Amino acid sequence: MQNQVISKKDLAGFVDELIKSKAAGEVIGIKTQGNKFNFGSLKSAAELRLDYDISLLPPKKYFFPQTETVLKYEAGANPRVEPVVEEKSMCIIGVHPFDIRGILLFDAVYGGNNPDPNYFLKRNNTVIIGVDCLKPNPKAFAASMGTAATDEGFDLMLTDIGDSYFVTVGTTKGENLLKKHAKAKDAKGGDLEKRDKARNDALKNYKVSLKMKPEEIPALLDANWESKVFHDKSETCFSCGSCVMVCPTCVCFDVQDDMALSLKGGERYRRWDGCMLTEFAKVASGENFREHKEQRFRHRMYRKGKYLVERYKYLGCVGCGRCATHCLAEIASPAETFNLIKEAK
């Protein structure tokens, strides 16, 4: 199926039909939350906001919940352990390209030789309808990271071209949903030109940029372990973890057991964790391998710019700007740190 064009009125009808028919499961989309935006369950297309800059939390929360029970157990003479795995069908509408790139990193981390069933039973049953970000957040730098657009990871991708949306068809699943539930028409050459112009114009709206190519970041970090930048930037850090809690590529979690008061059973759950938190690297003996703020700050930057790309081929930063937006100390932006290291050489 070739790419399509759908009017904004008909897109609303498409969304309402998905909600009504439940053809793709629960329909989730971007909604206003106060003066911000966040993903949430949609009751109607009227709630959907595709003209947003950034969501408070990335859509990873639907595949990798903030807190998730992974098993329940019974103690006593006949102990029993039962895995808890939730299979869920969803359609997430309005995912920006940089967040899609974050999901692709999650696919690599939680895949491999021993795929995580809790993740993939939700991920594989999800339709992703993306939308190009034409009004980027002031602290975003996705254009510099090459993540302002993506040609993979979505079923359908929307681009606002005026009174209509250009629809890039990514998968057969997306194609079938369009055919069955939407009033769309084949895109023409002029429509493609409008899409490309909208994307190119959006690149000019980014206020933050890297002073290097993304592929240069690992070597830059490799040569600057002792950089004074890490010390200087981390001095005002609150160790609050806001930067890692809102990051679309932070994959870490902690595991806890919750035993019932009767001591007859309980559950094991995992919850988001992050390397900027004080006790992240603390082990049972009481030793903390990254006790100081500078160590934790350096580690985060190396995770974003070196470690993940070496192991999974994806940089651990997509330039969304969430960390910088939420950081009270105004030190979290990887772009700012990488640029300072570059300038100090």
pLDDT (tens digit per residue) in 45-62: 999 999 999 999 999 999
pLDDT category of residue 1 using cuts at 50, 70 and 90: low
> pLDDT tens digits for 78-114?
899 999 998 999 999 999 999 999 999 999 999 988 9
DSSP bridge pairs for 266: 73, 259
Which one-letter amino acid corresponds to residue 222? D
Decide: 34 and 117 in contact? Cβ < 8 Å.
no
CB-CB contact of 150 with 97 (8 Å): yes
Rg of the chain (C-alpha set): 22
Least Cα distance to 148 among 217, 207, 215, 99 occurs for 99
**Do the beta carbons of residue 281 and residue 290 sit within 8 Å?**
yes
Whole-angstrom distance between the N-terminal and C-terminal Cα of the chain?
51
- Looking at the chain, the number of H-run helices and the number of E-run strands are 13, 12
Give the CA diameter of the chain: 73
Q: Report d(CA 124, CA 121) in Å as an integer.
A: 6
Q: What CA dihedral angle connects 89, 93, 97 and 102, to 10 degrees?
A: -40
**Is this model's pTM higher than 0.85 or not?**
yes
CA–CA dist 97, 194 (Å, integer): 18
**Dihedral angle computed from the Cα positions of residues 304, 308, 313 and 318, in that order, rounded to the nearest 10 degrees:** -30
With vertex at residue 195, the alpha carbon angle to CA 100 and CA 246, rounded to the nearest 5 degrees, is: 25
Every domain of the chain and the residues it spans: 4-64+85-203, 214-252+273-344
Give the confidence band of 345 by pLDDT, cuts at 50, 70, 90: low
183-195 pLDDT per residue, tens? 999 999 899 999 9
Task: Enumerate the β-bridge partners of residue 38.
Answer: 31
